[in-house]
Amino acid sequence: MTAPAVAPLPRLDAIIDPILARLPRVLEVLRVAVLAAFLSLSAAVILHADETRPGWLPEALELPADFEVITERAIGSTLRMFSFSTAEDTAELFADWEEDLQLSGYTVQQDEDGIIDEIIEFSGPGINNAKIIIAPVGDGGREIIEFDASLQ
């Protein structure tokens, strides 16, 4: 009984040469893929930077020109939190916002005692209930305004 014939192993250079011949093409494809990923990431960062106003915030609320976002969070599918700082007069801003919300079809809950001027509670299109408050003064004397909302 004779042992089956074993095919000879190919020479190492016969395996490596075709790989090395394709290496420049593979490196070019890899370079293009890395460049594309970098450009996509850069575009996403730029787009995110432009999206400083949350989409759920009523259009009736015009944010101050100098606002700087502190936090923007979504908790689950309906809870939203947003805060920013501003040097603008918040008492005047709140008075304007309250009127603008009412004119846009939102229901604004009034403080019965008239004591608290630093809170606006409202509900309306797309929002079950929301609260806007003035937080303690932040760095540099800028006021901090916080939004908490429960969306429909």
Q: For position 39, what pLDDT does the model report?
A: 58
pLDDT along the chain (152 residues), means of 10: 69 76 75 64 48 86 92 94 91 92 92 68 94 80 92 93
Query: Which domain covers residue 20, as residue numbers?
Result: 11-51
Q: Is residue 6 part of a domain?
A: no
Question: Domain for residue 94, yes or no?
Answer: yes
> What pLDDT was estimated at residue 106?
95
> Based on the domain organization, do 132 and 81 belong to the same domain?
yes
Structure tokens at 54: 């949350």
User: Do 69 and 54 touch, CB atoms closer than 8 A?
Assistant: no
**Are 95 and 41 in a shared domain?**
no
- DSSP class of residue 112 equals T
Are 45 and 109 within one domain?
A: no
Domain count across the chain: 2
For residue 67, the domain's CATH number is 3.30.310
Task: Tell me what pLDDT residue 46 has.
Answer: 45
Same domain, 31 and 65: no
Q: Tell me: do 105 and 134 sit in the same domain.
A: yes
**In the prediction, which pLDDT does 114 show?**
55
Q: Give the Cβ contact number of residue 106 at 10 Å.
A: 21
Does residue 96 form part of some domain?
Answer: yes
